[in-house]
Structure 1
Amino acid sequence: MIDNSDLPIGFTMELAQHSEILNRFAGLPETQRNSIIDGARSIESRNEMRNYVESIFHEPKTSFF
Structure 2
Amino acid sequence: MIDNSEMPIGFTMELAQHSDILTRFAELPESRRNELADGARNVESRNEMRNYVESMFR
- Give the TM bin, normalised by the shorter chain: over 0.9
Correspondence list, 1:26-41, <5 A: 26-41=26-41
Structure 2, unpaired ranges of 5+: none
RMSD: 0.5
* Bigger helix share: 2
- The ranges of structure 1 where at least 4 consecutive aligned residues each deviate by more than 6 angstroms after the TM superposition are none
Structure with larger RCO (C-alpha < 8 A, sep 6+): 2
Structure 1, unpaired ranges of 5+: 59-65
CA separation in 1, counterparts of 2:29 and 2:4? 16
Equivalent residue number for residue 5 of structure 2: 5
Percentage identity across paired residues of the two chains: 76
- Figure out how many residues of one structure are paired with residues of the other and give that number: 58
Which structure would you say has the larger Rg? 1
Partner AA of 2:33 in structure 1? R
CA separation in 1, counterparts of 2:36 and 2:30? 10
Equivalent residue number for residue 48 of structure 1: 48
